[in-house]
Structure 1
């Protein structure tokens, strides 16, 4: 990491050394500005062409470069660059559409010049031409893509321009930022009003879109949006989504279903849009959705069959709906489903700071507070202020300046108790769920633990569960319809570049329209093995691997393998001062290319692997340890150190030790007494590890501003403060502890 930062700083410094001409009068005179911006953009382009850096095949480079070309008024080259981006880096479903506004603008400028017509007329021609070239499934996204935040773009541009006051030149980094912010503002302020009207006309011609308010038996009101294709005049199955993120996504989700020839129905949760009820996220879906489904299936445009789809919170909503299963609900497709009380707002019983940011996002108004949620600087500052203060985790909302009842209520339930259990199926409830289900998640999905929790519980309590899983190299967005081809700046295998939307609606065709079963679903578990360009198909999760390696906590001073059981028990001592808020980060230096942060961790490395190894599944095993306190939160990570000197995070695991054996009942440790802590609910991955790699295992203590800090007193962790830290935490990690690594052998 240090080397990455150093190289980046060197590159930035070299670029900043380059100065470009930009008169200070451009800051205050709009006519001069409009003349100077294309010239500045061209200077930056010329500099990039003449420099020796190797960024031209980088996704970020192309993302910058087409904007510079537009700013330089080289519209055809900008369109060509966008085509390169689409071919090499664009995600599958979007097909480059996230830049459609820039492409339509460039097309319009070319048409304006060639046909010698006014820009609004050229823009209409360009928009209609592009729209007609796209399939229905992609045009449904245009409302989200073209709805650029003009006010925010204006502020960003003004801020970048103001930095140039009283200066007659500008450095590379500032010039690039100015050009990008200029073109973002210029394009969206110039096209948004007109293209949104044009899109509305297209939607009106193709869809019937209705918004209604439903009154439930308890008097609550929910807003529902119904979308149907005008061409579909007969009753159809209804695809329902329960959406807390009220706003543009309501019409989008509805149009998406309609584009696949279903009726799309999107209901907003309590307190959203036209509802005046109290907004308590997660608490009402289980009760509300039975009535919503009952209303939906009785409508004249419904054929009596209902399916559900959605990701994250919208995935949770489907599990809430099947707690009391309505006969008309024939299938659900939960994607990256939040495991309420399992992986959010606490992961393995450790509450996350992010929960407050999210609560504000969905409760600050009747829609969503995007400005507050997206203000990363603000939230980083709040979390850091809390961390530095040493105040209790309960004080986080007060530190943010706005106490929050929901935040406090969630903290009152640190174990997986009845409060969480009543929101979704619990234990025997799963045995009554006899409808077909398709779950999707990813190796990089923030809610993978939740998605797999439901899958495992369903199969555990219902031996005949008709429940399929698709898991691959996808992140939280990628596994709920966006299917990116690059994740963490790493390309995924071509075979994994599937349309999650197409998969989901093929499933609906299979269940609701007697269609063909999706080809990918060859067995109950369908997983992509990274770095092999293959999918594998097995009947249960345990069959994702057929062997295992036990990685022991050995220091290898005697060159013995970490994969061999130690001959005699020993331990490695770790000391973490929970009071220290200024500790400098430490790193494991891999090579000049990379390093891994090891602050609050100790590490163990394997020998170099002499053959390829497929790691497939999730980490298990146990830690044999003793501490001088009653509790702490573990933080475990397994890395591959690749032959090229770069690291790759394979899996991680964190847990509140006192809840490791039972997430509902806290079992405090006895200071000084050794105890075995099971490793459960770690992140699943499937990847071929190349010969010549090493494995690096980090074990340690979770202590950072993104999570609660467990001071180990045994009190409610949310109430502990820095004054509870006492003496430093001492952990003895015994060498007969092991992390069991799942291995697949052909």
Structure 2
């Protein structure tokens, strides 16, 4: 392990040690810069760090190669690298990346040189050719894919150049970053204004787009965008999206519905676009959406039927909409839906630092503050500064330099109380939801717990719930767009690479137009088993597995197995100093080729598996613990160590111990007493575990700049400070504790 780290450090040092000529005049003289950048990029293409990526991370290699060849003005090779990238990555939908902007820029440069015409004329030719090659579904996304932020890219380029002030050389890593910043500014500044107009003209040929301000009964203003296909003059069902992320996505969501032959309606939440109302995310959606549905269902272009779609906050909005169900709302398709108060802004009652970053993102202006949100260096430094300071979590907004009333209000509700309950259906409310629903989420979805919480509650309180679930190896973006070839750097099975858009609108056709049920929906639960290239189907979540395997918290001795109950009850003692903010991360080598972080965790490893297993569902079980404080936050990880020695994270679970039994009512622990902490709301996964693998379980304490720190006094955790830490936290993890792993057998 030490050798591996040493080699990595040597390689990193070599990257920084290697220098390339780059005159200091390039920082201030644009003519010199234009001459030097292609030369610098050409040198980087042949360097060892890039060539090494070809073997270790082909996607990163092709991404960097494509950009460097563009800067080097080798436009044909750049397009070839982009084509290779798309074969690897299956870049089906363009949303979320800017590659089409680079492609248009390079194609325009080729045409400019070949036909000896001006760049604007060449760009128009390149745009028209590319546009005509795209399907209706893809043309709706062109506007988003080319929407680079020119001022931000200019700022980032300037920052990269300033680092070279008074220097005549540049190291590899800095040179690569400079080339990327230069390319972004060069591409977007020279293409975006013209392409925005070209997209607008194309849209005018195909769509009728209207933007209106609606006044609610309470006097609030909501801006709504309606998009219709010109060739569809007759009234159609309306697909409504409630969007807090006001901006380019308003037009996109509307056009997306229109190309599937619906009317697209996109309403912005209070305080967005033309609304001068107070922006309080999540709080008023139920009331406002009811009035919006009432309005759209009565318009001449509507046939009176309304469906809803959208992901994340937009998924939450649909559950808010069915809190009080409007008769015109016939179906919803919530994707990766935020479980407000359940998985965001707190997951299992532990508030996350990210909440402040997100609040600023959606409330700083009438659209979204992309520059602030994507300034990861800023937010990492804020979270780290808070962590290092030992101040209360409630001080995070002050440390950021901008006190925030929404952040403070949320912290006043650490339990799942009426504040959160009133925003979405709660308990018996689900019994009144009798419209068909299609939920999508993924094994890597940040809001999987929230999406599944609605699904579970709907079936619990409504025995006749007509509610389907589709779940696969998708992240937060993929489960509301397309199953990409790679997720988290790993390939997914070909059968999982489906269009979520096609699935959703096939569902709308089924419900709103009497079409056929989507073929994938063979039962209520439809899940892809990773590493088998198959989909499975079950009538309930519980039937995703046929048995369970209990992994006990015991270290193996001799031929003993972690899957058998311990012969004698014992415990492993863990000590965590909550005051220590200079703690170095520790790692455990699981093989010669990989290691996993075990900071603040205890490591348990199974024997080598003698047969294949399919883990399907979410781990459950109980921890039997005794601590010297009144509370703590558990942190659990389940890994597969594959036969090749690589670690694969299967599932995670965090929970505030005092809320583990009831997320609405805090029940403090009694110091020194053995207490049982149930494991609920862990991450779902379905994957074949190959023979020759081992399972690894990490259990420990959540202590990180990304989350609140629970000092265990029993006070509101948001108000605790490092002064409350007292003596180190001591935990006795008893060996009869177990994590119950769900197993599927044919």
TM-score norm. by structure 2 comes to 0.97
| Per-residue deviation, 1:591 | 2.7
Equivalent residues of 1:439, 1:467 under 8 A apart: yes
Report the Cα distance in structure 1 between the residues aligned to 2:165 and 2:390, rounded to whole angstroms: 41
Alpha-carbon displacement from aligned partner over 1:443-491 (angstroms, at most 9, x marks no partner): 0111000000000000111111110000000111110114322111011
| Per-residue deviation, 1:637 | 0.7
Change (3 A) 1:552 1:506: same
Query: Alignment partner of 1:408: what SS?
Result: helix
| Per-residue deviation, 1:737 | 0.6
Report the Cα distance in structure 1 between the residues aligned to 2:332 and 2:15, rounded to whole angstroms: 52
Alpha-carbon displacement from aligned partner over 1:35-70 (angstroms, at most 9, x marks no partner): 222222222223359956644861111111111111
> Does 2:305 correspond to 1:305?
yes
Report the Cα distance in structure 1 between the residues aligned to 2:304 and 2:478, rounded to whole angstroms: 31
Show the counterpart of 1:443: 443
Show the counterpart of 1:597: 597
Alpha-carbon displacement from aligned partner over 1:339-392 (angstroms, at most 9, x marks no partner): 011111111111111111111111111111111111111111111111112111
Report the Cα distance in structure 2 between the residues aligned to 1:258 and 1:94, rounded to whole angstroms: 18
Change (3 A) 1:696 1:227: same
Equivalent residues of 1:90, 1:96 under 8 A apart: no
| Per-residue deviation, 1:33 | 2.5
| Per-residue deviation, 1:152 | 1.7
Change (3 A) 1:55 1:183: farther
Change (3 A) 1:662 1:52: closer
Show the counterpart of 1:424: 424
| Per-residue deviation, 1:658 | 0.9
Report the Cα distance in structure 1 between the residues aligned to 2:679 and 2:260, rounded to whole angstroms: 43
Change (3 A) 1:492 1:3: farther
Equivalent residues of 1:241, 1:310 under 8 A apart: yes
| Per-residue deviation, 1:673 | 1.0
| Per-residue deviation, 1:616 | 0.6
Equivalent residues of 1:92, 1:485 under 8 A apart: no
Show the counterpart of 1:515: 515
Change (3 A) 1:270 1:725: same
Equivalent residues of 1:633, 1:655 under 8 A apart: yes
Show the counterpart of 1:459: 459
Report the Cα distance in structure 2 between the residues aligned to 1:700 and 1:146, rounded to whole angstroms: 45
Report the Cα distance in structure 2 between the residues aligned to 1:170 and 1:48, rounded to whole angstroms: 16
Show the counterpart of 2:34: 34
Show the counterpart of 2:220: 220
Report the Cα distance in structure 2 between the residues aligned to 1:706 and 1:111, rounded to whole angstroms: 49
Show the counterpart of 2:125: 125
Equivalent residues of 1:315, 1:333 under 8 A apart: yes
Show the counterpart of 1:90: 90
> Does 2:143 correspond to 1:143?
yes
Report the Cα distance in structure 2 between the residues aligned to 1:51 and 1:358, rounded to whole angstroms: 37
| Per-residue deviation, 1:6 | 4.9
1:158-197 correspondence runs (5 A): 158-197=158-197
| Per-residue deviation, 1:146 | 1.0
| Per-residue deviation, 1:21 | 3.4
Report the Cα distance in structure 2 between the residues aligned to 1:201 and 1:50, rounded to whole angstroms: 41
Query: Alignment partner of 1:123: what SS?
Result: helix
Report the Cα distance in structure 1 between the residues aligned to 2:319 and 2:726, rounded to whole angstroms: 43
| Per-residue deviation, 1:610 | 1.1
1:221-620 correspondence runs (5 A): 221-620=221-620
| Per-residue deviation, 1:555 | 1.1
Query: Alignment partner of 2:46: what SS?
Result: helix
Change (3 A) 1:394 1:20: closer
Change (3 A) 1:220 1:6: farther
Query: Alignment partner of 1:193: what SS?
Result: helix
Equivalent residues of 2:526, 2:537 under 8 A apart: yes
> Does 2:682 correspond to 1:693?
no
Report the Cα distance in structure 1 between the residues aligned to 2:6 and 2:423, rounded to whole angstroms: 48
Equivalent residues of 1:93, 1:483 under 8 A apart: no
| Per-residue deviation, 1:595 | 1.3
Equivalent residues of 2:623, 2:676 under 8 A apart: yes
Aligned length, in residue pairs: 746
Equivalent residues of 1:91, 1:483 under 8 A apart: no
Change (3 A) 1:332 1:582: same
TM-score norm. by structure 1 comes to 0.97
Report the Cα distance in structure 2 between the residues aligned to 1:629 and 1:617, rounded to whole angstroms: 33
Report the Cα distance in structure 2 between the residues aligned to 1:385 and 1:502, rounded to whole angstroms: 45
| Per-residue deviation, 1:13 | 3.0
Alpha-carbon displacement from aligned partner over 1:273-309 (angstroms, at most 9, x marks no partner): 1111111111101111111100000000001110000
Change (3 A) 1:7 1:135: farther
Show the counterpart of 1:658: 658
Equivalent residues of 1:223, 1:267 under 8 A apart: yes
| Per-residue deviation, 1:248 | 1.1
Change (3 A) 1:392 1:165: closer
Equivalent residues of 2:634, 2:655 under 8 A apart: yes
Show the counterpart of 1:102: 102
Report the Cα distance in structure 1 between the residues aligned to 2:110 and 2:674, rounded to whole angstroms: 74
Show the counterpart of 1:678: 678
Report the Cα distance in structure 2 between the residues aligned to 1:219 and 1:166, rounded to whole angstroms: 59
Show the counterpart of 1:624: 624
Which segment is superposed worse, 86-95 or 455-464?
86-95
Query: Alignment partner of 2:26: what SS?
Result: helix
Which segment is superposed worse, 97-106 or 345-354?
97-106
Report the Cα distance in structure 2 between the residues aligned to 1:330 and 1:51, rounded to whole angstroms: 54
Query: Alignment partner of 1:616: what SS?
Result: strand
Equivalent residues of 1:85, 1:96 under 8 A apart: no
Report the Cα distance in structure 1 between the residues aligned to 2:254 and 2:51, rounded to whole angstroms: 48
Report the Cα distance in structure 2 between the residues aligned to 1:621 and 1:508, rounded to whole angstroms: 39
Query: Alignment partner of 2:590: what SS?
Result: strand
Alpha-carbon displacement from aligned partner over 1:231-258 (angstroms, at most 9, x marks no partner): 1111111000011111111111111111
| Per-residue deviation, 1:5 | 5.9
Alpha-carbon displacement from aligned partner over 1:610-649 (angstroms, at most 9, x marks no partner): 1111111000111111111111111111011112121111
Report the Cα distance in structure 2 between the residues aligned to 1:547 and 1:201, rounded to whole angstroms: 58
Report the Cα distance in structure 2 between the residues aligned to 1:265 and 1:709, rounded to whole angstroms: 42
Alpha-carbon displacement from aligned partner over 1:81-122 (angstroms, at most 9, x marks no partner): 111111111343339973111111111111112111111111
Equivalent residues of 1:227, 1:264 under 8 A apart: yes
Change (3 A) 1:724 1:53: closer
Which segment is superposed worse, 638-647 or 334-343?
638-647
Show the counterpart of 2:43: 43
Equivalent residues of 1:94, 1:482 under 8 A apart: no
| Per-residue deviation, 1:190 | 1.0
| Per-residue deviation, 1:328 | 0.5
Equivalent residues of 2:96, 2:145 under 8 A apart: no
| Per-residue deviation, 1:165 | 3.6
Report the Cα distance in structure 1 between the residues aligned to 2:499 and 2:353, rounded to whole angstroms: 33
Equivalent residues of 2:591, 2:645 under 8 A apart: yes
Which segment is superposed worse, 434-443 or 673-682?
673-682
